[in-house]
Structure 1
Amino acid sequence: MSRVLDSSTLVSVILTKVKKSLKKNKPFLAIITFKESKYSELLIDKCLDFDIYFKHYKLDNPNTREVTSLIDKLNKDNMITGILLVEPLPKSIDKYSCYEAIDINKDIDGVNPINQYNLSINRTNIVNSTVLAVIRLLEFYNISLSGKNVTIIGRSYNISRPLVSSLINLNSTVTMCHSKTRDLVSILKNSDIVISVTGVNNLFKSSDLKDGSTIIDIGLGDVLIDSDNISYTPKTKGIGPLSIAFLLENLVTTCKK
């Protein structure tokens, strides 16, 4: 029988911890968006629910220099304890220059290359919130990562790559697949855990995997569930709300520094 990896209980645990921490710490979040985003709306709702101070900067067709100048201003503002660039960034912007511009101590989603490097050598307190959501949800359901064959589908800078580092730190054997990968199905058949980060609807089926496998669908619809005897995240109450919970936890962490 299949098992649904519902994140609701873990979300509640993390948010309770955040609420307790907020009694001693008063973070101030700067949110930078470039278009309407369901993710930023949910995040702002949570900030309002928890009485977290925030400023929302809506940028309309900015160039790279305008974004990095804003980030530099926020870096120097002692009131601001966390900075978040909400994806996707416009293609006209050099997103890596924007990531590099964020003060590593205010980088609540771990996108600065220095924080990415520190994660690769297991020496950072700030890890991308979606990566944390994946790792901690697996731990919550007692799904071991040590020695397991884990396949990541998608090669994004801000999620897939820190996922690789985190999983290697936890002694997983990691394979990263992408649009040029040949014979994806044969790779899936040998995987204990598959984490999909593509956003491509029905990219693969659960029947492509061996019995007892685990599927983490970050893209929300990447996998068609058509078999039994697997563990998988649901389209709701999955990684999304847990990612926001860990983002708030990261915000509290940066406030303590």
Structure 2
Amino acid sequence: MSRVLECSTLVSVILTKVKKGLKKNTPFLAIITFNDSKYCKLLIDKCLELDIHFKHYNLYNPNTRDVTSLIDKLNKDDEITGILLVEPLPKNIDKYACYDAININKDIDGVNPINQYYLSINRPNIVNSTVLAVIKILESYNISLSGKNVTIIGRSYNISRPLASYLINSDATVSMCHSKTRDLVSLLKNSDIVISVTGVNNLFKSSDLKDGCIVIDVGLGDVLIDSDNISYTPKTKGVGPLSIACLLENLVTSCKKLK
């Protein structure tokens, strides 16, 4: 029988921890966006709810130099304790130059290559919030990673690759699939855990999976539930709100590091 991996309780637990951290720390978040963003609105609403200080920079038609100059200014601003670049960046922007520009201790979403490297050698500094959300879901349901076959669908720099590093460090056997992968269904059939990070609606079906498979749907709609043999995260009140909670937890952590 299918089981929904409910995340709301976990969100509450993490936000309670964040509130406790705010009693001893005063973080200040800089949010950089390039267009209207539902994610940004949800994040700002949560900052207002928790009385977290923030500045929102919505850049119109910038070039790479504009963005890196702003990041450099924020790095030097002692009041700012966290910097977030909200994806997607405009196509004319060299996003990797922007990632590289962020102070590693203000990089609250773990996009700087140095933070990614630290994670790859199992010495994490700051880890991407969505990666943390996935791991916390598995931990909260006592789902062991050691020896498990885990398939990640999607090969994004921000999420899929650091997620693979985290899983490998936890002794999982990891396969990373993408648009050029041949015979995805065969890989899925052999997977104990599937983590989909594509945002492609109904990319695969639960009937493609073996009985007892765990599905973490980061893309929010990647899996079509057409059988009752798996455990899965919901489309709403799932990974998304948990990622925001983990991001704010990272913000408090960054504030502590910068003291």
TM over 0.5: yes
Secondary structure of residue in 1 paired with 2:220? coil
Q: CA deviation at 1:71?
A: 0.2
Query: Is 1:159 matched with 2:193?
Result: no
Query: Is 1:212 matched with 2:220?
Result: no
C-alpha separation in 1, matches of 2:253 and 2:203: 36
User: Which residue is equivalent to 2:20?
Assistant: 20
Q: Is the 8 A contact 2:197 2:219 kept in 1?
A: yes
User: Which residue is equivalent to 1:222?
Assistant: 222
Query: Is 1:252 matched with 2:252?
Result: yes
User: Which residue is equivalent to 2:56?
Assistant: 56
Superimposed CA distance per residue, residues 17-44 of structure 1 (whole angstroms, 9 cap, x where no aligned partner): 0001100000000000011111110000
Superimposed CA distance per residue, residues 141-161 of structure 1 (whole angstroms, 9 cap, x where no aligned partner): 111111100000000000000
Superimposed CA distance per residue, residues 187-214 of structure 1 (whole angstroms, 9 cap, x where no aligned partner): 0000000000001111110100000001
C-alpha separation in 2, matches of 1:176 and 1:154: 7
Q: Give the root-mean-square deviation of aligned CA atoms.
A: 0.5
Secondary structure of residue in 1 paired with 2:151? strand
Q: Is the 8 A contact 2:11 2:245 kept in 1?
A: yes
1:140-219 equivalence runs, <5 A: 140-219=140-219
C-alpha separation in 2, matches of 1:246 and 1:217: 17
Q: CA deviation at 1:122?
A: 1.0
AA partner of residue 111 (structure 2): V
Query: Is 1:34 matched with 2:34?
Result: yes
User: Which residue is equivalent to 2:130?
Assistant: 130
User: Which residue is equivalent to 1:74?
Assistant: 74
Secondary structure of residue in 1 paired with 2:106? coil
Q: CA deviation at 1:229?
A: 2.1
TM-score (norm 1): 0.99
Q: Is the 8 A contact 2:84 2:109 kept in 1?
A: yes
C-alpha separation in 1, matches of 2:225 and 2:73: 47
AA partner of residue 107 (structure 1): D
- Count the aligned residue pairs: 257
Gaps of 5+ in 1: none
Superimposed CA distance per residue, residues 85-125 of structure 1 (whole angstroms, 9 cap, x where no aligned partner): 00011111000000000000100000000000000011123
Q: Deviating runs (4+, > 4 A) in structure 1?
A: none
Superimposed CA distance per residue, residues 40-83 of structure 1 (whole angstroms, 9 cap, x where no aligned partner): 10000010011100000000110000000000000000000000
Q: CA deviation at 1:11?
A: 0.3
Q: Is the 8 A contact 2:206 2:229 kept in 1?
A: no
TM-score (norm 2): 0.98
AA partner of residue 41 (structure 1): K
User: Which residue is equivalent to 1:236?
Assistant: 236
